[in-house]
Amino acid sequence: MCHHRARHGCLRLFMHASHRLRTLIPRHCAAAFAAARASTRASAIGLPLACSLAFFFYPATAFAQWSGSITAASEYRYRGTDFSDGKPSLQAGVAYDAGSGWYAGGFGASTRLADRGGTQLLAYGGYARRLANGLAWDAGISTVQVTQDEYGSYQELYAGLSRGGANGGVSARMSWSPRYAGGEARTLYCELDASTALSGKVDAFFHAGTLRTLSGPRPPQRADLRAGVAARFGAFGLQVAYVRNNHRPAYRYAPAPSPHAVIVSVSQGF
């Protein structure tokens, strides 16, 4: 069974991995195991920040913790972009918190791009620290790999600030890539995440992100939104989210048939 802090790390995995992340990820990162009472990213992210916020919002312990989730989602959108051609997606994530502030993890989601099945893989590592004024910061590096085509593979450096508690929270972060999606463009992805408790087991969440080109060939710039509710049922979670982007594909093989979608996810944490 998850320790208190690790268990809430599981919750964030489920809520944000399909971001993020996964977002997350949820983020993330993701796949979110029931909505956590603290906000993240994510993201779509967003997954690295999603996992590290377990450190931010709950009492720290002196020993390492593992957490994770497995998820079935009606569709997979990464930062608003359709990565499953509107089809269901299986997802899994795992996070490790060293207890001293260092953390690492990974996330995987089944994808369908250019009429081919495959997987999107995300790995990350970073460091998180509380501040005296109630804020917390974290920074790290992540890498995204798409098995169908190296064009969708890239790395990012990220940093963020957050503030939250038992009834919700808010976070902001920036992710910089020197070669976005396999190209030569330097990009910056900025995002804002928030969550609030609606009841003892139900939370509402919101995510907004925008991708901007700093230099080099300009990939399609875009913005994405995600909002919804998530409920916890013991070790299981249910999430319903509305996702929308400005209908400018950021990947050559992922032209979304629609700029918006309603995504239902069911997850189990461990």
Q: For 115-134, what is each residue's pLDDT tens digit?
A: 788 899 999 999 999 998 88
The predicted model gives 82-107 an average pLDDT of: 92
Provide the pLDDT confidence category of residue 184 given band limits of 50, 70 and 90. confident
- What are the structural domain ranges in the chain? 4-269
Point out the least confidently predicted range of 51-60, 107-116, 248-257: 51-60
Tokens of 203: 């939370």
What Rg, from alpha-carbon coordinates, does the chain have?
16
Q: Describe the crossing of helices 47-57 and 4-16 by its angle, rounded to 10 degrees.
A: 150
Arithmetic mean of pLDDT, 54-65: 50
Mean pLDDT, to the nearest integer, of 2-20?
Answer: 37
- Mean of the pLDDT values across residues 92-102? 93
3-state DSSP assignment of residue 42: coil
Structure confidence by residue, pLDDT tens digits, 208-267: 999 998 988 766 678 999 999 999 998 899 999 999 988 655 555 555 567 889 999 999
Q: What is the pLDDT of residues 186-201, one digit of tens each?
A: 999 999 999 999 998 9
Tell me what pLDDT residue 124 has. Answer: 97
- Tokens at residue 32, please? 């979110």
Measured distance CA(209)–CA(259) in Å, rounded: 14
CATH topology of domain 4-269: Porin (2.40.160)
Average pLDDT over residues 13-31: 35
Its pTM surpasses 0.85 = no
Mean pLDDT along residues 67-92: 91
Q: What percentage of residues in the chain have a pLDDT greater than 70?
A: 70
**Dihedral pair phi/psi, residue 35, rounded to 5°:** -75, 130
Provide the terminal-to-terminal Cα distance of the chain, rounded to the nearest Å.
7
Could you tell me which of 253, 226, 251 has the C-alpha nearest to residue 23? 226
Asked if pLDDT for residue 10 goes beyond 50, the answer is no
Which pLDDT score, from 0 to 100, does residue 231 have? 95
